[in-house]
A and B are shown apart, each in its own frame.
Chain A
Amino acid sequence: MAYCVRCGVKLEEGSTACPLCHTEVIAPADVIGVQRESLFPSETEGEAERISHQRLDKNRKGVIELVIAFMAIAVVTLLITAFALDGTFVPWISIASVIIGGAYILVLFFVRPTFPKIASWYIGLTMLLLVAIDAHDLILTWSVPSVMSLLLLWIVGVLPWVLPKHLRLRGVIGAIVAIAGYLVALDIMLSGQIVWSLAIALPTYAVVLGSLLLFYLRLHFGKPTVTDSVLSVILTACWGVVAGDFFHLRSLRSTQMLSWSTSVLVVALCLLIFLTLNVTLRRVRNYFNNRLN
C-alpha cells in the first residue's frame, strides 16, 4: 500500500495514481499491492436507467412547466373573461395566440436545435398563427398571400437543407420553380388574371437567375475574394433592376429601351468591367510571374 508523495494520503491497494492530484505512484509492485476489492464494481448498469437519468434536467423541466402553467393561466383567464362579458368578447384568437406563442418557446426544448428543424417549426407556427388570426370570421383573406410567402421562404431557405446531400440540387431547382410559381400566383391573386408576371416578373427573374448562375460558376471554378463576391451580388441586383425597367417598358410597348434605370446600367457595366479585368489581370499576372520565375 503506497502513499501519495504530494498529498500525503494513503492510497488503496493497487492504485497506480493518486485520485486527488493524479500523481503517478512509482514504487515496487509489492508496495503498490494488488486491488482486492474496489469501492464500486466497474461494470455499469443497463442503458435504460442511464437514459431515463439523462432525460432529466432541472432547469429544462422547470421552464417547460412554467410556460405550460402560464399558458394554462392565460387560457383560463380568457375563457372566464369571455364568459363574464356574456358573448361580447370572443376569446378564440387570443387563445390561439397564447397557445402558439407558448409553442414558440416549447419548440426550443422539444426539437433538436438544428437550423432546418427550428426554422420549419417556426415557419409552420407563424403560418398557423396568421391563419388563426385571419379566420375569426371564418373567411381567409390577407393570410393567404402571407402564408404563401412563408411557404416560399421555407421552400427556398429550408428545403434545400432538409434534403440529403445528393438530392440538394433538386431542392434548389424546386426552389427556383417555386419562386416562379409564387410570382404568377401573386399576380393572379392581386389582379384576378395574369397581368405583370409573365411580361415583367418572370423575364426579370430569369435575368437574375442567369447572373446568379454566373456567380455560382465563378464560385465553383475559382476562388473569388470577398470584394469580388460582394460586387458580384451588387451586380446581380443591378441586372435585376435594369431588367425590371426594360421589361416594364416592353409591356407598355414603349419605344424607349430604359427609363430611370440607365444610371444603374452604367453602374452595372462598370462593375462588370472591373470584375472581368480583376479576374483577367490576375490570371495574366500569374501567368507572367510563373514564366519569369
Chain B
Amino acid sequence: MKNSPHLGELIPLDNSAIIYPPTVARYNTHVFRLSMDLTVEVNPQRLLTALEHVLEQFPYFAVSLHRGFYWYYYLPHHAPLQVYPDSASPCRYIHRKRGANGYQFKVRYTSSRIAVEYFHALTDGTGGLVFLKSLVAEYLKLSGYSVAADNQIKVPGDSVDPEEGEDSFRRFYRPLKSVFGSESKAFHLRSSGDDLTDDVQVISARIAIEDLKRVSAKYQVTITEYLVAQLIDAIQRIQESTVSRVSRYKPIRVSVPVNIRKVFGSKSLRNFTLFIVVGIDPKLGHYEFEEIVKQVMHQMRSGVNAKSLSIQVARNVMGRKHPFIRYAPLIFKNPFMKLLSDSYGDSIYSTVISNIGYVTLPEGMQERVKRVDFHLSPNKTNKVSCGAIGANGSLIFNFSSILEKNTDFEREVLTELVKQGIPVEVHTNRNHRFVKEQ
C-alpha cells in the first residue's frame, strides 16, 4: 500500500501559485524559460552533476506537485534528476508527474546552452534567474573555471536561508476590503482558430541597451515603460486596421509583472510578483505615441507602491482564507479558479510583457555567457507574450506566440523601433517550417 504523506512534509502552494495548476491548458502551459548561451561546450553529464549540487541549495524547488482534496500541494521530491536535450520550441507543457520525473522544472541543454523551464507554480522570473545563475556558475566551476562570488548565486554547501522558501504573500498580507474591482474585456489579437500551434513560435529581437536608453531618455521614461508604450501603440494600429467602427474599439491594456521583493523587503525565491495593468481606451480617440508614453509612465509609477500593491496581495490571500473557499473540495474550486483567471486575468489585458531587467554576472561568468534569454508562455486569449532580459550590453526581447504564421504584432513593434532609430537584430525558430515554404 502506498504510504500517505506525513502532514508535516506537506508544502502549500504560495498564494499566487494556486491559480496555475487548475488553469493549465493546451495553449496555456504556464511555463517560463530562462537560458544562457555559453562560450564553453555543455557536457550533459557534468550539467547533471551541477544540477544535483545546486538543487541542495534550493530545497523548495525539489518538490513534486500533488492534487489534494482541498488544494494542490507540494511534497519534497527525491527522484533522480535528469537533464533534457533542448526542444524546437520553448515553454512546453511540463506534466505534473511525468514531465520532468516529478519535478516542476526542466533543465535543457544544447552544445552551448543551458536552459531551465519552470512551471510558474514553482517560482517566478527572479527565483528562476537565481537558480539558473547558480546552476551555470556551478557548471563552470565543475568545468574548471573560477567564478567570483555574487549575492544572487547560491553556492553548494552554504546554509539555506529559510526566508527564501517562504510564502511572502502570507507574510505581507493585510486584510483589506473591496479588493475585487471589475474590468472590461480588452482588445485581443484575432485568430481564425486554425492558425494556432502547440509549438511556441519565437521571434527574438536583440537590441543594444545603449540605443534603448537613448530613446527612452528622450521621452523621460524607463526602458520597460518605453517598451510597454510601443506594445500599446502597435496594438492600437492593429485594432484600427482590423476593427471597422470606433464604437467597437476595446481598451488596449498591457499586463506588466512587477517584482515586489524590493517593495516589501522579501527574500523569497518562490512566487512574489504582482501585475500592473496599464493601457489606453481608443474609443476616446487615437493616441499619439507621446500620449501613450505619458499614460504608461503615470499608470506604472502610481501602481508601484506598497499601498497599491497591498490590495493585490490581499486579493491573492483573501480568496484562500475565506472559509467557503478554503473548505470547498478542489473539484468545485477548479472551475471557479478558471472563471477567476478569465475574468480577472487573461481577458482584461491585450498582452503581457515581463522585463527581468539587466542581469549582472560575476567575473568568470560574464566572459563565458554570450547571451541570456527569457521566454514567457502565451495563451489562447493573449496569443503573443513578451519577455525581455538584458545582459552583456544587449536587451533580448522575445515574442512567444501560438500563432503559426501571423507575425503582424511582432512586425508592428519591431519596425517601429527601427523607425525610431534603434537597430534591431531578429532571430526566430519559425525558420524550420515557415520560411522554407516561401
Q: Chain A: residues with CB nearer than 8 A to chain B? A: 4, 7-12, 15-22, 24, 35, 37-45, 48-50, 52-59, 61-62, 65-66, 68-69, 72-73
Are A58 and B410 in contact (CB-based, < 8 A)?
no
B418 interface neighbour in A9, A22, A66, Cβ under 8 Å:
A9
In Å, the complex CA distance between A213 and B85 comes to 65
Are B430 and A19 in contact (CB-based, < 8 A)?
yes
In Å, the complex CA distance between A59 and B338 comes to 9
Q: How far is the CB of B246 from chain A (nearest CB, A)?
A: 28
Are A7 and B415 in contact (CB-based, < 8 A)?
yes
Are A40 and B90 in contact (CB-based, < 8 A)?
yes
In Å, the complex CA distance between A9 and B332 comes to 50
Known: A19-B428, A52-B98. A58 touches B23 (CB 8 A): yes
Are A19 and B431 in contact (CB-based, < 8 A)?
yes
In Å, the complex CA distance between A4 and B27 comes to 31
Of the listed residues B334, B418, B426, B435, the one surrounded by the most CB atoms of chain A closer than 10 A to its CB is B426
In Å, the complex CA distance between A35 and B110 comes to 16
Are A7 and B411 in contact (CB-based, < 8 A)?
yes
List of B residues within 8 angstroms of A69 by Cβ: 331-332, 334-335
Q: Name 6 extra pairs, CB < 8 A, besides A11-B426, A21-B407.
A: A4-B426, A8-B415, A20-B411, A38-B431, A56-B93, A58-B28
B425 interface neighbour in A12, A43, A50, Cβ under 8 Å:
A12
Are A37 and B112 in contact (CB-based, < 8 A)?
yes
Is B19 interfacial (CB-CB < 8 Å)?
A: no
9-residue interface stretch from B4-12, B187-195, B199-207, B256-264: B199-207
B415 interface neighbour in A10, A20, A50, A57, Cβ under 8 Å:
A20
11 A-B pairs whose Cβ atoms sit less than 8 Å apart in the complex: A10-B424, A20-B407, A35-B431, A40-B88, A44-B88, A45-B87, A56-B24, A57-B25, A58-B26, A65-B335, A69-B332
Q: B200 — nearest CB in chain A belongs to which residue?
A: A40
In Å, the complex CA distance between A55 and B428 comes to 27
Are B415 and A49 in contact (CB-based, < 8 A)?
no
Is B182 interfacial (CB-CB < 8 Å)?
A: no
List of B residues within 8 angstroms of A42 by Cβ: 88, 432
Are A19 and B423 in contact (CB-based, < 8 A)?
no
Q: How far is the CB of A60 from chain B (nearest CB, A)?
A: 8
Are B198 and A40 in contact (CB-based, < 8 A)?
no
List of B residues within 8 angstroms of A39 by Cβ: 202, 204, 427-429
Is B302 interfacial (CB-CB < 8 Å)?
A: no
In Å, the complex CA distance between A21 and B418 comes to 14
Are B427 and A61 in contact (CB-based, < 8 A)?
no
List of A residues within 8 angstroms of B93 by Cβ: 49, 52-53, 56
Q: Is the interface of B mostly helix, strand, loop or mixed?
A: mixed
List of B residues within 8 angstroms of A37 by Cβ: 37, 112
Are B411 and A40 in contact (CB-based, < 8 A)?
no
Q: B341 — nearest CB in chain A belongs to which residue?
A: A58
Known: A20-B426, A22-B438, A49-B92. A66 touches B414 (CB 8 A): no
In Å, the complex CA distance between A11 and B418 comes to 13
In Å, the complex CA distance between A40 and B95 comes to 21
B74-106 near A? 1/0 per residue, CB < 8 Å: 000000000001111110110100110000000
Are B426 and A12 in contact (CB-based, < 8 A)?
yes
Q: How far is the CB of A127 from chain B (nearest CB, A)?
A: 29
List of A residues within 8 angstroms of B37 by Cβ: 37
Q: How far is the CB of A135 from chain B (nearest CB, A)?
A: 29
List of A residues within 8 angstroms of B23 by Cβ: 58
List of B residues within 8 angstroms of A45 by Cβ: 85, 87-88, 92
B27-66 near A? 1/0 per residue, CB < 8 Å: 1110000000100000000000000000000000000000
List of A residues within 8 angstroms of B415 by Cβ: 7-9, 20
List of A residues within 8 angstroms of B205 by Cβ: 9
List of B residues within 8 angstroms of A38 by Cβ: 429, 431-432
In Å, the complex CA distance between A52 and B419 comes to 43
Are A20 and B338 in contact (CB-based, < 8 A)?
no
Is B380 interfacial (CB-CB < 8 Å)?
A: yes
List of A residues within 8 angstroms of B99 by Cβ: 49, 52
Are A62 and B380 in contact (CB-based, < 8 A)?
no
